[in-house]
Chain A
Amino acid sequence: MKKALTYLISCVFVMAVHGSMLLTVYNNGKYDSVNDVITLSAAVILLDAVYFAIMPLFKQRTYAVDFMLLLILNMSMIFQSCFGGVHFDMKHFITMIAALVSCRIGFMLCRNHRWIQTKKKFFWAGIGILLVVIFLFTGDRSMWIDLGFMSIQPSEFIKPLLVLACATSIGEQQNRHKVGEINIVYDNVIIFGITAVVILFQWWCRDLGSIPTFAAIYASCFFMRICYPKAKFSRKTLIIAGSVVGVAAIAGIILAPAYVKARLFADIWSNPTGDGYQQTKALISIAEGGWFGKGPGYGFLHEVFAYESDIVFATISEEWGLLFAIMTVLMLLLIVAMPLVNPPRSYYHGTMCAGVCAAFTTQMALNIFGSCNMIPFTGVTLPFISAGGSSMVTSGLMIGMIVAAQSPVFTNPKKSKKKGKQKRRTV
């Protein structure tokens, strides 16, 4: 009864936020016909209602992350449908539904770590297949595969797979093997190798913006391995690992191509119509939007390339105001902070949450600080807010992992038919 009441209250508040935003669109928005606002409202409210009805079919300990996901997704739908004038953005609506479906898949897949740890080789193979696809079907200066009716970014799908690969290897820390003079854990070597190859491929594709995200996933999982009681990491190992990372970072900066160095130390205001075009426009529009924005659809940033993805924070700030844009980002941070309220009960789920949190916060930082000229502009998407199917699906899958960590299952994959007391195996 108490659970039903909290569920109902959450539904009411999520719908109230969407309702108030739609009212803002109706009152302050730029639209040719009121039918555009009605269509958008109907889609948002319908999706809310359908998802609220479906969610209880999945037995979960908590639904808070699902409510936050739906809240953010429909906010994103309203933002994207208002850029440049109110209209119903069908493509974004479809990708949103794909994100919700992939969230459910992530949840079902990751609940039981005893089962998923037996499947870890599939994740390694999955990353390998994606790297082959990148090698064969994308160019050395591209990260997209154009299918004609849609484009896919295969590197996006590596993110959740890398998180899963790291999380499923956490239980192997005790299985040490003596190779020469040193004890090694095979899984650690494999995960390090996979991450290194992925980063090299990103370098080859010139998708340097994604490298910090992969590095952050690996770093968070490495940190979790240090915290893992069985890991037996020595100070020597940690000092060596830290030195290797430091040397690699310095070498990366020194050996970076000229255009990367130019971007690292670029002065956008010296060339506002060239390299600094997007960022200068983004900063001007944030300033023009002020705290409360110009109104949905009244911005000019929609005329700038990648307004709905790379500089989406600035586009929202311009139309809805900096206050609303910051609130949206805070909601995104809240969703990845949920494992602090409901702590995971296993090292596997903890590592998975840490990986997802690292990926999301890095992407958010790169997108927001990049468009505000506080760090070099990378062109990374803002999870759930930016348009893009690949990003939406993978972000949904990763939130599904957090949902799984909130409602874990501790059962053996194959149930033993033997009943009664198990005999003790004595030494």
Chain B
Amino acid sequence: METIIYSAALLAICGIVLLFTSYLENRTGEKVWKKVTDNMELADEANIYNLECDEILIGRHAMADIRIQDMSVSRYHAILNVTDGKWMITDIGSKSGVFVNGEAVRHVRLYEGDVITLGNRSLIFRKRVNR
């Protein structure tokens, strides 16, 4: 009976160790994600938006990943995608359109320092600032 108790205890410890290992590896994964996304972020005058997913919806809707509460912004305004470390922005049928550095666009690659205008709001696409 004793050996069964030891086995069960060891199994519990093993589960905790593997969970902790996974947590540690997740922290390494954050660095990998920064590489994948070229360590970029979006910012406006008041807010900074981390880009934590490979597909990000910008809009006024409550479910949007980046929610901008401004009536000039459509509920489903634009989508950001990252592939091969390159960010793209796509207009998904917004009323006021998507402008990058003042130029109206439908689907375009973003570069560091680009200014994205959605309705009356402007966002800057920049390298992540260490906070």
Contact with B along A329-347 (1 / 0, CB 8 A): 0110010001001100111
CB closest chain-B residue, reference A13: B14
Q: A230 is contacted by which of B52, B76, B84 (Cβ under 8 Å)? A: B76
- Judge whether A227 is part of the interface by a CB distance below 8 angstroms: yes
Most buried by A among B15, B65, B83: B15
Q: Are the C-beta atoms of B3 and A24 separated by less than 8 Å?
A: yes
| Set of chain B residues within 8 Å of A114, measured between Cβ atoms | 83
Interface residues of B, Cβ cutoff 8 Å to A: 1, 3-8, 10-15, 17-19, 21-26, 28-29, 32-33, 36, 52-55, 57, 59, 61, 63-65, 76, 79, 82-84, 92, 97, 100, 103-109, 111
Closest B-chain residue to A71, C-beta based? B14
Does A338 contact B22, Cβ atoms closer than 8 Å? yes
The answer, yes or no, to whether A271 is at the interface (CB within 8 Å) is: no
Report the minimal beta-carbon distance from B111 to chain A, rounded to whole angstroms.
7
Q: Are B53 and A345 in contact (CB under 8 A)?
A: yes
Supply 6 A–B pairs (Cβ within 8 Å), ascending by A. A6-B24, A17-B11, A20-B3, A341-B26, A425-B108, A426-B104
Q: Assuming the A-B contacts A16-B14, A68-B18, are A232 and B8 also in contact, with contact meaning beta carbons closer than 8 angstroms in the complex?
A: no
Q: Is A341 touching B19 in the complex (CB atoms < 8 A)?
A: yes
> Is A410 a contact of B36 with CB atoms below 8 Å?
yes
**Residue in chain A with minimal CB distance to B4:** A292
B82 touches A425 (CB 8 A): no
Given contacts A62-B25, A341-B26, A347-B55, contact A424 B3 (CB under 8 A): no
Q: List chain A positions with a Cβ less than 8 A from chain B.
A: 2-3, 6, 9-10, 13-14, 16-17, 20-21, 23-24, 27-28, 61-65, 67-68, 71, 114, 171, 174, 227, 229-230, 232, 292-293, 320-321, 323-324, 327-328, 330-331, 334, 338, 341-342, 345-347, 410-412, 415, 421-422, 424-427
> Which A residues are in CB contact (< 8 Å) with B14?
13-14, 16-17, 71
Q: How far is the CA of A64 from the CA of B21 in the complex (A)?
A: 7
Give chain B residues whose Cβ lies under 8 Å from the Cβ of A3. 25, 28
A227 vs B64: C-alpha distance in the bound complex, in angstroms?
10
Do A345 and B52 form a contact, CB below 8 Å, given A227-B63, A232-B76? yes
Residue in contact with A10 in the complex, picked from B18, B36, B59, CB distance below 8 Å: B18
Residues of A within 8 A of B108 (CB): 422, 424-425
Q: Is the CB of B107 within 8 A of A425?
A: yes
